[in-house]
Chain A
Amino acid sequence: MKQNTLSYKVKQYLMFGGVGTALFLCVVIAPFLYGLYLTLTSWDGVSRAKPFVGLQNFAAAFNDTTYWQAMGRTLIYSVFAVILINIVAFALAYLVTSGVKGQNFFRAGFFVPNLIGGIVLGYVWQFVFNRAFVAIGKAIGGSSVSLLATPNGAMFALILVSVWQYAGYMMLIYVAGFMSVSKDVQEASLIDGCTPAQAMKNVTIPLMRSSFVQCIFLSITRCFVVYDVNLSLTKGEPFGSSVMAAMHVYNQAFTYRNFGLGQAEAVILFLVCAIVGVTQVLVGKRGEVEA
């Protein structure tokens, strides 16, 4: 059988990737295209009528101040969370590859928070903030105000829970990165007179650049569209000051019954996230080095 005809290649692709592609088309691409159509209507989410309004929803989205406030908040949250996640993950990965006793157990342990899933995580931490810390505060005579009851406290809590959730997952990627740096290169740099810190900064980290690119991309994209932890931990309270972009989009479409407007805001959020993510990956990949 000729192995370089188009029909052969297509058949091979369908045999291995057909099911996955079909699912991807049905679950991701088709709703996305349908959503683009809905941004041109003023549908309210339940009625049978979908009146066509053209680009009015996009104009309304650009004028929606609460949306841009939520975007700003998401940006601040993402910056803090991404930086902290990656620092903590890198430190944990370094610890866990440095040969301490029981390091495999620690690897599994640090990864467990990521397995719990956003909703349960939010409820667990809500208990910790609302009850555990408040009870401790009352017992030592401090305030009984939960961290989640103040706007800054709620943001801090969200960042903390996100770092707790993702640091373990990113740690595994950094561990793989550490292991991919060959010991010879590190030894050579130490023999040539580098201090361990210089060796880390000038040899190990540049060789791990692809791990950094991956981790930063994953953490940026996940933090930008955070919803489950937001919902279960703060629900946007107090007084709507911890509503992130995805929660605002959901509320706009499903709670306030402005489906067309909510969908337009979702498309804008997707574009922002895509531009940031792709830019970051392109810039990162360009600087990758090999030993």
Chain B
Amino acid sequence: MATPCGLQKEDWSLAAHFFASVYEMHDDPDAFIAGIKDGSVKLADDDVFNALMDTFDVMKANNWMKDAPLSAVREDTEMYLALGEIAFKYGGNWDWSDIKEFEPDANLGMMPIPSALEGYNEKLVGGGSKYFFIDNSVSAEQQEAAKQFLNWLVYDEAGQDFLVNTCALVPAFSNITLPVSDPLGASVKSFADTGAMVGNYNYLPDDHYAKIGISFQKYLGDQIDRAGFADEVTAYWATRVSLQLQIGRYSDETKYPEL
């Protein structure tokens, strides 16, 4: 096939997912962002940025909608992937809920973003996308009830069935052994089980995906080049601070003992 790749034009796919990998594939994303802010890191010269953007350029040049990438309809890209008309799509295991409508062969799975970065071609970017928090301002009874619910979700068979089968999630708990129902989720689980994952960076400001998404769309539409894109990202960070510095980050696991 002449154009085997599929890219989405949506700002959340480009900025919240693909561009977030640029932060996540650094050993210390906080330091990287702080470096962009104070000028000690020049984004256009950064190895991770350039490696990932090189891969993006390859996908862009082989995009099935390369003549009009900003007109790409997400459902069409998923359909062509399901039918085997294209071979790769940038997305995630959430795409399965759309892809399964086209009844594809079960020969689909997740692969890491291939890049020139050492060691990252075997690791999938991912992590828990949603978190439960117990509000400690409510009564002790309600907190206890919340804990019981969470324990049910993780340890009780009915709760595990709900997570894995009804919600079609990849469980984040090592005690759950139910097989994941869809091929993309099963693929993610195989990476997670061997620890071959790059964690999500959850401390980007609220308007990051919208603002960087605009710049990334301009890049996808050939309105700016890579240097211009790097400049716009740097200009964005000049006026922002990552949430990690605002709310404090809990890396100490003893704060959250097993329920």
Contact = CB atoms under 8 A, between A and B. Distances in A.
Residue with the highest number of chain B CB atoms closer than 10 Å, among A130, A134, A143, A240: A240
A137 to B, nearest CB: 10
A74 B73 CA distance: 26
A201 interface: no
Interface stretch (A98-106, A189-197, A204-212, A251-259): A251-259
A149 B71 contact: yes
A134 B71 contact: yes
B68 A145 contact: yes
B157 interface: no
A34 interface: no
A50 interface: no
A245 interface: no
Contacts of B221: 149, 238-239
Given A146-B68, A239-B215, A251-B210, 16 more contacts: A131-B73, A134-B68, A134-B71, A143-B68, A145-B68, A145-B71, A149-B68, A149-B71, A238-B9, A238-B70, A239-B214, A239-B217, A240-B214, A256-B206, A256-B207, A257-B207
A148 interface: yes
B223 interface: yes
Interface of A: 48, 130-131, 134, 143-146, 148-149, 237-240, 251, 255-257
B17 interface: no
Contacts of A145: 67-68, 71
B69 to A, nearest CB: 8
Contacts of B68: 134, 143-146, 149
Contacts of B223: 239
A130 B223 CA distance: 20
Contacts of A238: 9, 70, 217, 221
Contacts of A134: 68, 71
Contacts of B218: 239
Contact of B70 (A131, A149, A256): A149
Contacts of B214: 239-240
A144 B72 CA distance: 10
Contacts of B217: 237-239
Contacts of A148: 71
A134 B71 CA distance: 9
B71 A255 contact: no
Interface of B: 9, 11, 65, 67-68, 70-71, 73, 76, 137, 206-207, 210, 214-215, 217-218, 221, 223
A153 to B, nearest CB: 10
14 contacts: A130-B73, A144-B71, A145-B67, A145-B68, A148-B71, A149-B70, A149-B71, A237-B9, A238-B9, A238-B70, A238-B221, A255-B207, A256-B207, A257-B206
A238 B214 CA distance: 8
A257 B68 CA distance: 33
Contact of A255 (B73, B137, B206): B206
A130 B207 CA distance: 27
A72 B238 CA distance: 26
Nearest to B217: A239
A239 B214 CA distance: 4
Contacts of A146: 68, 70-71
Nearest to B67: A144
Contacts of B210: 240, 251, 255-256
Contacts of A239: 214-215, 217-218, 221, 223
A256 B236 CA distance: 14
A122 to B, nearest CB: 14
Nearest to B215: A239
A256 B209 CA distance: 10
A130 to B, nearest CB: 5
A256 B204 CA distance: 11
A240 B221 CA distance: 13
B78 to A, nearest CB: 14
Nearest to A127: B73
Nearest to A44: B206
A184 B138 CA distance: 76
A257 B243 CA distance: 12
